[in-house]
């Protein structure tokens, strides 16, 4: 791992209010490529350095790691913290994995082609969900999504059963011919 203030950006978008130099940037990118290093993405403020007047900004600080380290720690990210040093923002490296839990709803493009898809969605969404005087809009929304998911599963299960039955009948018919 190599980390620190490299005094060079990787693209023009990493500079603001300063003159962009193409040749040093190209050289810096070539060094990173030839050494097979990976530039870790950074969260937080976009820039890591500014002049004392706040008129010039650059992303100079970064973490460069090997593929091996990235395979071992796949959720590495840099984080730019609040500025408290005269012209550099402190940065830290952390492994940050975000797990949003199971996907609440999955839909396939092929479903849109089914004849009664619109009807299933419309009927599910317009059904009366109010249970025991529930008046929380988010809870009603959640219940409607759950009902829609259940109705789509039921509809897809019956469509799959019809397709299997149709294939069996078709194969029996062709066998007899």
Residue 84 has pLDDT above 70, yes or no: no
Per-residue pLDDT tens digits for 106-155:
777 777 877 888 888 888 888 876 666 667 788 888 888 888 888 888 88
**Residue 64, pLDDT score:** 95
Is this prediction's pTM over 0.75? no
CATH class for the region spanning 2-95: alpha beta
Residue-range domain boundaries for the chain: 2-95, 109-176
Query: How distant is the alpha carbon of residue 44 from its chain centre?
Result: 17
Contacts 24+ apart (CB under 8 A), 57-60: 57/15, 57/16, 57/17, 57/18, 58/9, 58/14, 58/15, 58/16, 58/18, 59/9, 59/10, 59/14, 59/15, 60/5, 60/6, 60/7, 60/8, 60/9, 60/88
- In angstroms, what CA-CA distances link 177 with 68, 117, 164? 61, 36, 20
pLDDT, tens digit, for every residue of 19-75? 888 999 999 999 999 999 999 999 888 889 888 888 889 989 999 999 999 999 989
pLDDT given for residue 27 in this prediction: 94
């Amino acid at each position: 791992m190599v980390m620190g203030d490299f005094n060079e950006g990787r693209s023009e978008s990493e500079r603001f209010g300063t003159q962009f130099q193409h040749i040093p940037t190209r050289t810096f990118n070539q060094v990173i490529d030839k050494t097979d290093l990976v530039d870790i993405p950074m969260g937080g403020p976009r820039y890591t350095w500014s002049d004392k007047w706040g008129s010039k900004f650059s992303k100079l600080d970064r973490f460069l790691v090997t593929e091996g380290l990235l395979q071992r720690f796949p959720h590495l990210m840099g984080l730019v913290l609040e500025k408290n040093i005269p012209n550099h923002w402190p940065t830290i490296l952390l492994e940050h994995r975000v797990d949003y839990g199971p996907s609440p709803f999955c839909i396939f493009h092929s479903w849109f082609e089914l004849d009664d898809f619109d009807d299933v969605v419309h009927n599910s969404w317009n059904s009366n969900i109010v249970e025991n005087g529930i008046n929380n809009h988010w809870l009603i929304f959640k219940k409607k999504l759950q009902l829609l998911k259940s109705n789509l599963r039921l509809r897809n299960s019956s469509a799959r059963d019809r397709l299997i039955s149709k294939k069996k009948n078709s194969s029996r018919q062709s066998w007899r011919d």
